[in-house]
Chains A and B, each alone.
Chain A
Amino acid sequence: MSQVDDVSVSDGIAARASALHARAHVLDLICPWIDYPTAPRDRRYAMIDRMAAAGYTFVSLTIALDDPNVERVMRSLVRHRAWVLSQPDRYVLALTTAEIERAKREGKLAIGFHFQGTEPLQRNLDLIEVYYALGIRSMLIAYNQKNSAGDGCHESDDSGLTPYGHALVREMQRVGMLVDLSHTGYRTARDVLEMGGGPMIFSHSNPSTLWAHPRNIPDELASACAATGGVVGLNGCGAFLGHNDTSTATLIRHVDYYVQTLGPAHVGIGLDYVYDQASWHPHILSTSVGIYLEQADYLAEEEIRYVTPEQMPELTEGLMRLGYSDEAILGILGGNWLRVMRAVHG
């Protein structure tokens, strides 16, 4: 980056980018946060502060994956809810977009919650509103594997959205819970998108055109998502960016692909930043057989890299150098997520 820095001094873009980044609402709807016994909590809390320092306005924390244990999910939810509420000078439990904007004005980090999955409902749709009341604002339909609602993206076959899944999506929409289709099987995702009823998102799914991987999605799905008024987020995981290359330039290549395909108003960022892969992978693999496909590069000898929160200012500058308008950049950094959230839950 030193070369870029030298140029920036002379052309003033770095300063403009820095100013734009400072006033942007930077949102990430997919911050892995799940509790597990071997999680190094110090690193987890440090990650939040790193994100705040990198200019983030709002992060949504993953409270559970497809965990069908209501008790465990509730305990996790109330623990993190209490943690956010216990530090009102630094964090805001943001349940509305107005609260996110207020947090930005007050120089605090806004925090929200989501599930990566729908099994915490245990097929009881009344729980959607209960979790919503406690701060859950989005749920992805299925996490890699099959569940009651439909299929995950790592199943060998995808039988589509189930009747329960159909009722689930409708109740989510009634309550104002954002429908997230990342990690979900293509046919199941397509079935959900065809239901309509408001904007939907892929919070963190890269284009398969640029890198073939079952966690990435075909253009046809990304376009269908954009057509709902929704947003597709770029994932910062090296396994999905390709060649484990997490340089800002590669992230920008993925962003630009979606901008060309969908238009800048339908692109966002969802870094999926795993703060401690060394403890996370052994935990999830030992408790959830089949959750990650062996042939899908997750278990390569080289540790998977992730785009770090600190690269976000570089993204802003890089997009500016590509000639993106300020408006387009503000949208990609978080304005587009805000628009969808405002439409779905206010």
Chain B
Amino acid sequence: MSPFTEVGPDEGIIDLLLPWLDYGDARLRSATLERMAAAGYAYVSLTLALDGASLQDATLAIGRERAMLRNSEGRYRLATRVAEIRQARKDGCLAVGFNFQGTEAVGRNLDLVDAFAALGVRQMLLCYNQANAVGAGCHELNDGGLTRFGRALVERMNRVGVLVDLSHTGHRTARDAMEVSAKPVVFSHSNPLELFAHGRNIPAELARACAATGGVIGINGCGMFMTDNDTSAEGLFRLVDAHVQSVGPAHVGIGLDWLYDLPAWLTIVQEPENALRYPDDGDYRRMDVRFAPPEEVPHLAARLRAAGYAEVDVRAILGGNWLRVLEEVWT
């Protein structure tokens, strides 16, 4: 019996961030969702586009992945409502949603928010590391805050039911978005800056502002954003516990950012066109970086319980908190 089975197999793990761009070994890719289902996942959000992807790129990716789900013989299913996530769990299949890490596929056309939402994209990061029409990414030199277009975009996302995700976004832009948003916002995969200083991590003050919207902060399983590249259950536990100290157990979740083909990814990161997207001061080109795999999450659950976390809090962190936010945003 896996550690997770003891904490409640019915709800399952919710992970709001799995990079699912068309990269790497197709066999590793196709095994990924199977591994997640086996590890006790109920829902995972797949990234189909980063900033830089065109409207056409994003549309083709959506077509490709909708076909993948359709051809999965019922193993995976698109979910755009929490009730559908729960139903999929009951039916023994993994629910899947789509996200964009960035908003450039939308360009400056707000009607595309509606169209992409209708196709299953119910979560978008505002910016991905660099500046775009909406605001600044977290690796920019300056952050002028949310633009006029960005404000309209957040309002449209609220109205249509698209989750506003502030990971990778500049801190001032993120703060502005939190003020504009009428719905809870999230950091799907952002670790505590106080634990490890990195441009991708966020200060407790920003995490608290997110929690104040009713939102949730997901821990990231990438070793680059952790102390000593320690992606063990112990390393993950330290991330969760630090966030919990800032915002309480009702506002922490999981967004592993797991790369199913790490060597392929590291090759992409080293391409010259990605030099500014992944700047040197972010240590993105260290070749020994580790990522916590989906199978580590049940061990994290066990570690939380060993540390004295209440059962109800463990379940909330593993998925319940995300479900609460999605329930509020998607309807």
Contact = CB atoms under 8 A, between A and B. Distances in A.
Interface of A: 70-71, 74-75, 77-79, 81-82, 85, 124, 126-127, 129-130, 133-134
Which applies to chain A's interface (DSSP): helix, strand, loop or mixed? helix
Interface string B29-63: 00000000000000000000000001110011011
Contacts of B62: 130
18 contacts: A71-B54, A74-B55, A74-B59, A74-B115, A75-B55, A75-B112, A77-B115, A78-B115, A81-B115, A82-B111, A126-B63, A126-B66, A129-B63, A129-B66, A129-B70, A130-B66, A133-B66, A134-B115
Which applies to chain B's interface (DSSP): helix, strand, loop or mixed? helix
Contacts of B83: none
B64 interface: yes
A127 to B, nearest CB: 5
A263 to B, nearest CB: 38
A199 to B, nearest CB: 24
Contact of B64 (A85, A126, A133): A126
Contacts of A77: 115
A133 B118 contact: yes
Contacts of A74: 55-56, 59, 112, 115
Contacts, number: 53
A155 B70 CA distance: 37
Contacts of A130: 59, 62-63, 66, 119
Contacts of B64: 126
A129 B64 CA distance: 10
Contacts of B227: none
B114 interface: yes
Contact of B67 (A79, A82, A126, A134): A126
Contact of A134 (B54, B55, B56, B119): B119
B142 interface: no
Contacts of A71: 54-56
Given A78-B115, A81-B115, A134-B119, A70 B66 contact: no
A242 B109 CA distance: 44
Contacts of A70: 55-56, 59-60
